[in-house]
Amino acid sequence: MADDLRAKALGVRTALFGEEAARRRMGEFDEFDEGFGHVVNDELFGAIWTRPGLPIKMRSMITMAALMALGQGPELRMHMRGALNLGITAQELKELIIHLSQYAGIPIAVEAIRAFNEVTAERK
């Protein structure tokens, strides 16, 4: 079961961030603490992200909305990159920011716009 979750986690993380980054990040969490690595790698990415009922793009959008609302800029940038890798468009990211601005506040949206501008500039 643990190996199955680990393989699923690697698949999700590879889709989001590329194989090299996925393996590196999973190793960083495992090296930091084996139990924490299990929670993040196997449970979050292996069990939660691969549950039936929501497509991966929707899970990505939900994750970014939560990160925006929590003001987690660095993690938001990472997940914006992942969203673009999944095929979520820059226009869809803009709409997410605009929509969330009405629920989480303008300052949150302004920080998300900074993240968006940085991430999309990297792709040009």
Residue 112, burial from CB neighbour count under 10 angstroms (0-12, 13-18, 19+): buried
Predicted local confidence at residue 80, as pLDDT: 98
Domain locations in the chain as residue ranges: 2-48, 56-122
Percentage of the chain lying above the pLDDT 90 cut:
97
pTM to 2 decimals?
A: 0.92
- Contact yes or no for 48/61 (Cβ under 8 A): no
Q: What is the pLDDT of residues 89-124, one digit of tens each?
A: 999 999 999 999 999 999 999 999 999 999 999 998
Alpha helices in the chain, H assignment, sequence order: 2-17, 19-32, 34-37, 56-70, 73-86, 90-104, 106-122
Predicted local confidence at residue 21, as pLDDT: 94
Best CATH choice for the domain 56-122 from the list 1.20.1290.10, 3.90.180.10, 1.10.10.10, 3.40.190.10: 1.20.1290.10
